[in-house]
Structure 1
Amino acid sequence: MPFRDRVEAGARLADALADVDLGPDVLVAGLPRGGVPVAAAVAGRLGAPLDVIIVRKVGVPGHRELAMGAVGEGGVVVRDERILRAVAPSEDAVDRTVAEERAEVEARAHRFRPGREQRSLSGRTVLVVDDGLA
């Protein structure tokens, strides 16, 4: 089901959600970069606020495409212990890689939300939107 562009994809997604009870406090959050135009179209159609959620894959040192975890805003770190046991990188290498990705998360948060903090997600229905192309 190809779309002309990300905006059309967002409009079609919003149409598909039209009959879903999302509750009174929905927030649409796009994953930069490709998910933001899709999320903007969804938010516009639903009359919901829009924000971004910044996350980064943490790759195994020396094999960056192999994910050993992820980091997000607010210091969130998720580790894939199964991968870490299998690959067994040093804890120092893991810590350095996590620190690099955390710094990138913070830089992107400032770029996408200059002068503004992330909206609270607590108690809300959050639609996390990406373009699915990566």
Structure 2
Amino acid sequence: MSIWSIWSAPLIMSNDLRDMAPGSKEIVLNKYVISIDQDPLGVMGRMVNQTGNIMIFVKPVTPVLNNNTTFSYAVALLNRANLAEPFSFVLKNIGLTNPSGYNILDLWAGKLVGTYKPDDSYTATVNATGVHFIKATALQ
């Protein structure tokens, strides 16, 4: 679902949506994840790095500040391994360079993680064959 969202792909379900299990329904109806897929910029995310089993996908999203020069971003960390892995990256190394920094929101938990500057390192544990999905909203 996270990769579907970051790629701005249409979601096609071939089941009766009225009969979905509550856990599946919760995934499909996550408003934060849907907002990334349907972001008005319509830009498809791309893989910007792969380190070991972790692939990093980045997608520019709204809000855009400073006369359309400072973007917010969705970032997905995809773990291809069968074990959970801690992973860290420096924001500027994946293109997040706004000097004022970013508020980071965990899209699946719906919780603000904190405020990070471009030189800061962001660390997350990515579940086995799972994804850690965040939105970095640019600050003025």
Q: If the length of structure 1 is used for normalisation, what is the TM-score?
A: 0.24
The structure with the largest helix share of the pair is 1
The structure number with the bigger radius of gyration is 1
Q: If the length of structure 2 is used for normalisation, what is the TM-score?
A: 0.24
